[in-house]
Structures are given as C-alpha cells and as structure tokens.
Amino acid sequence: MALYDDLERWHAAGLIREDQVAAIAEHERSQGTGDRRSSLVEAIGYVGAALALGAVALFTADAWSRFTLAGQLALVALLTVVVGGAGIVASRGGTAATRRLGGVLLAAAGVSAGWFAGIVAADVVDLGQAGILLAVGTTGAAVTLPALFLRPGIALQLIGLASVVTVAVGGLSLPRLEPDQAWFSVLAWSVAVAWALLGRGGLIRPPGVAIALGGAAALIAVQVGTFDAPVALLSLGILTGAGLVALAILDGRTLALVVGSLGLFVMVPQLTFELFGDQIGAPATLLVIGLLLVLLAIGLGRARHQLGGDGATARPADGSSPTAGDDGADPDEAADGADEAEEADRPAPPSSSEGTRR
C-alpha cells in the first residue's frame, strides 16, 4: 500500500518516529475495516430507500392526474423544500455517511426543483419544448451547482452536469429551424468536456469523478449523434477516448482509463466500418481492437508503475496539485464511493514533507 511506503520513507528521513509509524498504520487499518462495514450498511440503506422511493413513485404516478395543477405544484414544492432542507442539515452532519447522504438529498432537491420549474413552464406559462428545457435545466443547475461547491459528491455532480447539458440543449432548441441532431451532440460534448477539464483543475470535486463523468457524458453525447454525421462524430469520440486514456496515464486515474478505453472499443470498430464498409471486414476490425488491447495493456502497466511504485513521481502532469485541492486530507473525500477507489490507487496525499520536496 502506498501509505506504508510513505511511512517508511518518512521514518527513514527522520520525520516521524517508529511509534508514530505504528500508530498511524494501526489507525488506518482499523479505519479501513470500519469503513468497509459502514459502507455496506450505507449501501443497503440506499438500496432500501431506492425501493421505497420507487413504490412511492408508482403510487404517485397513478394518482397524479387526479391532482389539480395547484395541488401538483404544492406537492412538488413541498418535496423540494423538505428534501433540500434535510440535505442541508445532513451535509453538516457529524459522520461521513451522513454528509454523503446530505449530498444525495441535495441532488434530489435539484431534481425536484427542476420538476417544479417544468410544471410551471409547461402548464402555467405554456412554454414550448425549448422553454421547458431551459426552465428545468436552469433551475436544476441553480440548486445543484452551489451545493456541489459546498458539498462535493457524485450525485450532485451527476445532476449538476445533467442540468447544464439540459440548458445547452434547450438553448439550441430555440431557433425555428432546429439544427441537426449532430449539433446537439457536439454541444453536449463540449459541456461534458468542459466539466472534465474543470474537474482536472480541481474546480469541480471530486476531480476523479468529474473527469470520468464528464468523459463518459462526452462519449455518450457523441454516440447519440452518429446517425447524422457518423464519421465526424466517431472521430471526435475516438479523440475524446484517446484523450481520456492519455490523461489517465499521466495522472494515474483508473476511472478515466476505464471510460476512455470503453469509448475507444465502442467507437473504433464503428468508424472502421463507416470508412471501409465491407472492404476490409471483420478481420481488420479485430486487428484494430487487438492493437487497442495491446496499447491498453501498455498504458495500464505504466499507470500501475506510476501508482504503485515511486510515489514521488506520481503527480499530475500539469504541475498543479489537484490532490491538494482534492481535500485529500478530508475524510469526506476519502470516503466518497467512487473516489475512494481512485484514492486507493493514487499516492497518499502530500504531507508537509512532500511539499518541502517539491
């Protein structure tokens, strides 16, 4: 484990005593065990809540049409306020699990607020599709983006990104002559790429989630539009996937590597078929995929070398310290689900000695 390598190094450098090494190691071991148990409990709780919410949604869907417009608005407004309030309280909770729940509740409040705006736009103001999308996206973003900066989390990132993409799509739906689907895809791609870039710079946290989520959203956006402009969009998707893989190797980010690789595996065969049709056929496609596997293996090998070997060399290539902005010392960040996997692969957060070495 990288932490133990660091502890040994610091002890060898005379920065910490042997009893401190033992105390830290023991503390981390007990935390890990405790975290795994509490994570399981937390996961069970979320599954149960999802089932309960599903049941409520089914019941509500059946009764929804019997509510008046005022009743619908009141119900959704109440839901938004209750969930949002609970989210704010939970975000300030004493345990990491409570704070994570707060993030999820705030994300749910964003969804609910967008729902409220959608009802107003459609049934009160009687806007068209573009107006409804703009209302829903803007409201969702207004709730989730500030919450995201206060309480970084996966759920808030997911809803926040979806809200911003909705605003973009709604804006492009305004003109009388709706552009081709490909342009919607390109616009959504740009928003998702921007999200990933902001995550890499540490402006959206956790950065590992932001990069993976933005990358995945960019690839999906491109795939959706390939019907209209297959060669152009598939090429864009391949560049995106390659960029993700390169960034993953540079920064040591497993999630980004997985997302980028999946994107390449999905899009390279499609582009090959688009360009060459049946002329070169399945064998050539297999050859391309095989070469990709080789490259991936090389990339993974390099990434593992960087992550698991010399921690001093494993730092972001852009020279900044996103791990420092990553709140690496914050138990919230370390305990976040997906980012926990990232942190396990990444070198330990820098200590004062690391800062001195820089």
Partner 1 sequence: MSDARPPGAHGTDARGGDALASAGDAPPPASPVSRPPPSDPGQRGSLIAAALVVVLTVGAVVLWGVERPPQLAPLEPDSEFVPEAGVAWIDDGDQETCVHVARPDGRSSELTCEVQGSLVGWDERGVLVQEFVADGTELVIIDPNTGARETEPLDGSVARGSGDEVVARHLDDDDVLRIEDRRTSDVQVANLRARPAYDLRWGEYAPDRHGVAVIDNADRLLFIPVQDTGQGSDEPRLWVEDVGAFDAVWQGSAPEGR
Contact residues toward partner 1 (CB under 8 A) are 15-17, 19-20, 23-24, 27, 30-31, 34-35, 94-96, 122-123, 126, 129, 172, 175-177, 179-180, 183, 186-187, 189-191, 193-195, 197-203, 316, 318-322, 324-325, 327, 329-332, 335, 349-352, 354-355
Q: How far is the CB of 293 from partner 1 (least distance, A)?
A: 30
Contact of 223 with 232, CB cutoff 8 Å:
no
- 266/98 Cα distance (integer angstroms): 38
Contact of 333 with 339, CB cutoff 8 Å:
yes
Q: How far is the CB of 160 from partner 1 (least distance, A)?
A: 14
Q: How far is the CB of 234 from partner 1 (least distance, A)?
A: 17
Closest to partner 1 by CB, 269 or 322: 322
Closest to partner 1 by CB, 31 or 294: 31
Closest to partner 1 by CB, 269 or 349: 349
Q: How far is the CB of 335 from partner 1 (least distance, A)?
A: 8
One-character DSSP codes across 257-321: HHHHHHHHHHHHHHHHHHHHTTTTHHHHHHHHHHHHHHHHHHHHHHHHHHHHS-TTT-S-TTSS-
- 110/147 Cα distance (integer angstroms): 9
Q: How far is the CB of 309 from partner 1 (least distance, A)?
A: 23
Q: How far is the CB of 328 from partner 1 (least distance, A)?
A: 9
Closest to partner 1 by CB, 31 or 60: 31
- 111/83 Cα distance (integer angstroms): 10
Closest to partner 1 by CB, 83 or 161: 161
Closest to partner 1 by CB, 5 or 330: 330
Closest to partner 1 by CB, 300 or 324: 324
Q: How far is the CB of 142 from partner 1 (least distance, A)?
A: 19
Contact of 141 with 163, CB cutoff 8 Å:
yes
Asked whether the bond before 283 is cis by omega within 30 degrees of 0, the reply is no
- 245/257 Cα distance (integer angstroms): 5
- 323/32 Cα distance (integer angstroms): 20
Q: Of 156, 245, 247, whose CA–CA distance to 204 is shortest?
A: 156
Q: How far is the CB of 40 from partner 1 (least distance, A)?
A: 15
- 326/230 Cα distance (integer angstroms): 38
- 322/18 Cα distance (integer angstroms): 30
* Residue 64 amino acid letter: W
Closest to partner 1 by CB, 83 or 192: 192
Closest to partner 1 by CB, 29 or 304: 29
Contact of 84 with 106, CB cutoff 8 Å:
yes
Q: How far is the CB of 47 from partner 1 (least distance, A)?
A: 23
Query: What residue has token string 């980028």?
Result: 260
- 351/322 Cα distance (integer angstroms): 14
Q: How far is the CB of 165 from partner 1 (least distance, A)?
A: 12
Closest to partner 1 by CB, 327 or 342: 327
Contact of 323 with 304, CB cutoff 8 Å:
no
